[in-house]
Amino acid sequence: MDITVRMPQLGESVTEGTVSAWLKKPGDRVERYEPLLEVITDKVNAEVPSPESGVVKELLVAEGQTVPVGTPICVLEGEGAGAGAPAPPTAEAAQAGPAEAGTARAARPEAGPGAGAAGTEASARGRYSPAVRRLAREHGVDLALVRGTGAGGRVTREDVERFVREAAEAPAGRPVAAEAPAAQAPAATPAPAPALAAGQPAGPVAPPEPGPDDEVVPLTPIRRSIAQNMVLSTSTIPRAWSMVEADVTGLERLIRARGEEFRAREGVALTYLPFAVLAAVAGLRAVPRLNASWAGDRIIVHRRIHIGIAVATEAGLIVPVIRDADRLSIAGLARAIAELAEKARAGRLTLAEVQGGTFTVDNTGALGTELSVPIVVPGQTGIVTTERAKRKPVAVGDAIAIRTMMPLCLSMDHRVVDGADAGRFLGVMRARLESFDEATGLY
Amino acid sequence: MADWKEAGLTAEDLVGMYRAMLLARRLDERQWVLNRMGRAPFVISCQGHEAAQVGCAWALTPGKDFVLPYYRDLGVVLTVGMTPREVMLDFLARAEGPSSGGRQMPGHYSHPRLRIVSQSSTVAVQALHAAGIAYAARMRGEDSVCYVSFGEGAAQQGDVHEAFNWAGIYRLPVIFVCENNKYAISVSHTKQMAVENVADRAAGYGFPGVVVDGSDPVAVYRAMKEAVERARKGEGATLIEAKVERLVPHSSDDDDRTYRSREEVEEAKKRDPLLTFAERLKKEGLLDDARREELEAEVKRAVDDATEYAEKAADPRPQDLYTRLYATAPAVGGEAAPGA
Amino acid sequence: MPEKTFIEAIHDAMDEEMARDPSVVLLGEDVGLRGGVFRASTGLIEKYGERRVIDTPLAESSIAGVAIGMALNGLRPIAEMQFADFSFPAFNQIQSEAARFHYRSNGGWSVPLVVRMPYGGGPGVHGALYHSQSVEAFYAHIPGLKVVLPGTPYDAKGMLKAAIRDDDPVIFLEHKRAYRSVRGEVPDGDYTVPLGPAEVRREGRHVTIFAYGYMLHESLRAAEELAKSGVECTVVDVRSLKPLDVKTIAEAARLTGRVLVVHEDNRSFGAGAEIAAIVAEEALMYLDAPVRRLTGPDVPGIGFNHVFEVEFTPDAAKIARAARELAEF
């Protein structure tokens, strides 16, 4: 069999060699280890021995010619079966056994082809890289709306850039927002996190052009955010609505009797809202399903209760969050509400204070309304309003009495809960509101 | 004691040498005082080595010959031209100190104008620098020589042997001086080497090694003068081993009572070169008591002046920490920046 | 412009500087009659004589220490460590002495010294544990040194000339695989390349790769390959670790937000860690993926067997894989 002799590497860092002389010519016999040719490199001049015994068949490189290391330079006609360059056995073996190779890879500390990337699958959702967050802030993008193409569905910088580009290029009426799966917005709130193009109508209707008598009001980030969330809610959440009336005569008396003292002691007014929150919390305890998020293929029920409270500000509606509202007393809730409302109006809320709500209570009655159909905050399942408390004649037993009545209106995500859940929640909330009287402890 | 006339010294030289030894001793003593008062963090002493140091330096040409001292060589640097003020500025780590502007510990002398080359705390490394300096001097046709010193402990470092080897191969104008005080901090010379003399090793590198009594400045001077002459003539290096006594602990942070008997120290003090040299000068009629007291007073004034000057001198500023890291400004970034 | 190998560029730089300035000397093991074991100083002893081209005793501490002395007394020595692996006996002279002379003497002394060190290994080098190490991290940690690792013949010549003319000690690292396998245009005659600024060798918007020395070429090959499938890489030739071009590094990181640092040196506490830290400090808000390092593993050198060489050494395929993962993150 034929044996190919190659230009050897003669010395560290040497990459080529020059054949200075052939010591054998075709037809000559050569013994293994007998000098076959002379090679000059820029490091050495050396006699190169034959790798095997045999007869020189062909010289492939002429004297004086320079070739890279590894180039075939000569063919020998070998003798016997053992001829030919010995295969490097360990090398092949090490790479052949798949099991062994697999173990080796696993053990290699730096191996994790993306040791970093591998771990992202589960946690990618809702976590954004600094670059993505910066871009979102600069362009007013609500990241919940951006489809992620990165590892584990992660939103990448390119995804945000594409979103911005497409939004800018989108023909009027194209629902950019529809790109966002609702499931990717757990616990999103209409917070001052701005959202791009959110105000665009979800239908194929061209936005109106301003006429000579119109005033154009540029969108503030907060207005955009509200618009976007409302669109998202109404376009993705099948809403159901229920209403009950609660008799808050006792509560009214309680506030009237002890309001002054409370304000003097706590520095904040005693209003219906902390009682409404306390009552809503009781309802959520009874119906945990209302304290949940729709997540596409499953429902995530939250153990902790964080109540969003709607606050009207000059800039628009803001919903700061009372974290762990179920752990607070009336006084604690009153203080928390007063503090958040003041921060909201002063524009000093932190991101943490407007994120993570699991249910919303809106004291619309403070604005004088008697009936509302609230919109569920995307990522939550329910929102309850407390309407204006009004003295009116009601049947008490067989008699007619004048009582102070307050309507409670609940909107809910019908994917998560049904009418029975709503009824039960409202029943518990009403009972709790009706239980308050002048003897109720505030602490 | 060696014959001073034969060594080529004058009576004036001898008194000058005594004065230099006295100045070194009194400055050194003042440093201990300041240390024990809490005004100076660290003293590394020359006491007991003064005769060897002054004897060596007396044979050098200041400003022409290179001096690579080691940390005890106060007597050497004073003799080639450092002033008491400069020594005290360095001792108190003042900004104005010529050696390092407050960066290095005391005893790490540097004075470019006097060709005193900056030292490290890593011992023996300077032996190789001396070989390189001498090689360069010869290549450029200068007839300067290079004095380099170290203790017998440092003589065990590889760098000293490698330097001997270079000096031997290239017949370099280096004078290696080993001030052998028999202790490397606490470890006796008998645990440092199996031969009696460091100087015996010179033979192995192809140049002469001589042993001299390091308490006799005249003997040291004579050996040094011969070595300097050989070096200037291109005849190569010499190793001089001066047998000296260390009269105090290794440093102000050391207590030698754990490893050295008091009797031994008392015995050593009897050979204090300052005393023995003064007696000899008196015997030979070169220095009477009145002249000696004059010298004492003169030296005390110099030491007082240096102390006062240095104590009043400014500390370096915090921002001086970041300067003079590079001689050629880096092409990007600053020279050095605060860590935080 | 003539094309030359990396080692020819090194040779030419020394030759031209020795001709230009009589204070330049070369010292090291086998640099004289043999012209260096890598032949970098071929012919110099004939041209400049054995006083200026010095075959030293086989003692690295003395090579560094004597060179320091020469530099203190008016010469501009180039000290060759035969292999970077053997520089450690000289480490104390370099770190305690050369690097500190200027600082510790408050500017009184300076050490214009170049220490040339062939370093690195990889497939085909067969340098094993003691002829293939990358040593840059040790030296780059030391204030007072300049540490450069050119990747191209052009830079090799221009940076070596700049290093020789610099008044500070410069550790000049030459990758052995580059010596004869890397060719490039090298102008005849005098020019210098400043020690410090990094060079952007290729621009792309998806991933930024930082590399130097031989890894620059593997990175450029990887970028070429990735471009075929639409992944565009920026490749930055860092080429100086001390000083480090923080500005260019930060800008290049911001450009893509996805950063891969490649070096052959061991992973831990290496140049990659420093570059990653700079990216974190200077470009965090632009990052869209974790910073990744692709490096030699934390084992003591490259094993002699070629299987070990391949396993140890980052190459174009490994770089492309890592960069692609980053692009897809």
Which parts of chain B sit beneath pLDDT 50?
Answer: none
Q: Which DSSP symbol is given to C241?
A: E
Domain range C199-328, CATH architecture: 3-Layer(aba) Sandwich (3.40)
β-strand partners of C294: C262
Structure tokens at A176: 């950019």
Amino acid identity at A374: P
Closest CA to B55 of B308, B232, B292, B241: B241
Query: Which residue in the block uniquely carries the two structure tokens 């067997």?
Result: C305
Which chain B residue has the Cα nearest residue C165? Answer: B328
- Sign of the Cα torsion A263, A269, A271, A277 reads negative
Q: Is C131 a catalytic residue?
A: yes
Q: pLDDT at position A212, please? A: 79
Q: Which chains touch C (3 or more CB pairs under 8 A)?
A: A, B
User: What does DSSP assign to residue A207?
Assistant: P
Query: In CATH, what class is A125-204+217-228?
Result: few secondary structures
What confidence score (pLDDT) does residue C319 get?
98
Question: From CA C222, how far away is CA C323, in angstroms rounded?
Answer: 8
Query: For strand C76-80 and strand C53-55, is the pairing parallel, antiparallel, or unpaired?
Result: unpaired
pLDDT of residue A235: 84
> Quick one: which of C143, C102, C70, C92 has its CA closest to B104?
C102
CB-based contacts of A365: which residues, under 8 Å, 6+ apart? A272, A385, A386, A387, A388, A389, A406
pLDDT in tens, B81-116: 999 999 999 999 999 999 999 999 999 999 999 999
Using CA coordinates, name the residue in chain A closest to C293. A110
Q: Which of A44, A85, A37, A43 is nearest to A65 (CA)?
A: A37
Q: Which residues of A touch C118 (CB under 8 A)?
A: 13
- Residue A139 is among the residues annotated as catalytic for this protein: no
Fold of A2-81: OB fold (Dihydrolipoamide Acetyltransferase, E2P) (2.40.50)
Q: Over 50: is that where the pLDDT of C179 sits?
A: yes
Tell me whether the CATH fold assigned to C3-185 matches the one assigned to C199-328. Answer: yes
When computed from its CA atoms, the radius of gyration of chain A, rounded to whole angstroms, is: 39
C269: left (phi over 0), alpha (psi -120 to 50) or beta: left
ipTM here:
0.95
Q: What is the pLDDT of residues C19-42, one digit of tens each?
A: 999 999 999 999 999 999 999 999
Which of B119, B145, B328 to probe by mutation at the C interface, max C CB count within 10 Å?
B328
Is the CB of residue B71 less than 8 Å from the CB of residue B42?
no
Q: Which helix (H) or strand (E) holds C115?
A: strand C114-119
- CATH fold, domain A237-435, is Chloramphenicol Acetyltransferase (3.30.559)
Structural domain boundaries of chain C?
Answer: 3-185, 199-328
Q: C-alpha A27: how far from its chain's center?
A: 75
DSSP B196-221: S-GGGGGGGGTS-EEEEETT-HHHHH
> How large is the average pLDDT for residues C293-312?
96
Considering only CB atoms, C74 lies closest to which of B131, B136, B166, namely: B136
Residue with tokens 């290095």: B104
Query: Global pTM?
Result: 0.71
- Write down the pLDDT at residue B340: 55
Q: Is C146 helix (H, G, I), strand (E, B) or coil?
A: strand
Percentages of chain A per state (helix, strand, coil), in multiples of 5:
35, 20, 40
Tell whether C322 lies on the interface with A, counting CB pairs under 8 A: yes
- Which residue in B140, B324, B330 is closest to C74 by CB distance? B140
pLDDT in tens, chain A (443 residues): 889 999 988 777 778 888 989 999 999 999 988 899 998 877 777 888 888 899 999 999 999 898 998 999 999 998 765 444 555 554 444 444 444 333 333 334 443 333 344 344 444 567 899 999 999 988 888 888 888 888 888 899 999 999 988 888 765 443 343 333 333 333 433 434 333 444 444 444 567 778 878 888 877 767 777 787 888 888 889 999 999 999 999 999 999 998 898 998 888 889 999 999 999 999 999 999 999 999 888 899 999 999 999 888 887 888 899 999 999 999 999 999 999 998 888 878 777 788 889 999 999 988 889 999 999 998 899 999 999 999 999 988 888 889 999 999 999 999 999 999 999 999 999 999 999 988 888 88
Residue A11, C-beta contacts closer than 8 angstroms, at least 6 positions apart: A41, A43, A44
CA angle at residue A209 from A204 to A215, to 5 degrees?
130
CATH class of C3-185: alpha beta
- Of the residues A2, A28, A42, A418, only one is catalytic, namely A418
* Interchain contact A/B (3 or more Cβ pairs less than 8 Å): no
Tokens of A359: 């249910």
| Rounded Cα distance, B216 and A273, in Å | 101
Q: Strands B66-68, B146-151: parallel, antiparallel or unpaired by DSSP?
A: parallel
For B11-319, CATH number? Answer: 3.40.50.970
Whether B108 has its CB under 8 Å from any CB of chain C: the answer is yes
Q: Which of C65, C106, C166 has its CB closest to that of B324?
A: C106
The token duo for A44 is 């050495």
Q: Is the CB of A114 less than 8 angstroms away from the CB of C127?
A: no
Number of Cβ within a 10 Å radius of residue C288: 25
Across the interface, do C329 and A117 touch by the CB < 8 Å criterion? yes
Length of chain C: 329
Are C286 and A130 within 8 A, CB to CB?
A: yes
Residue A349: what pLDDT? 79
How many angstroms separate the CA atoms of A300 and A154, rounded? Answer: 20
Q: At what angle do helices C316-328 and C214-228 cross, to 10 degrees?
A: 50
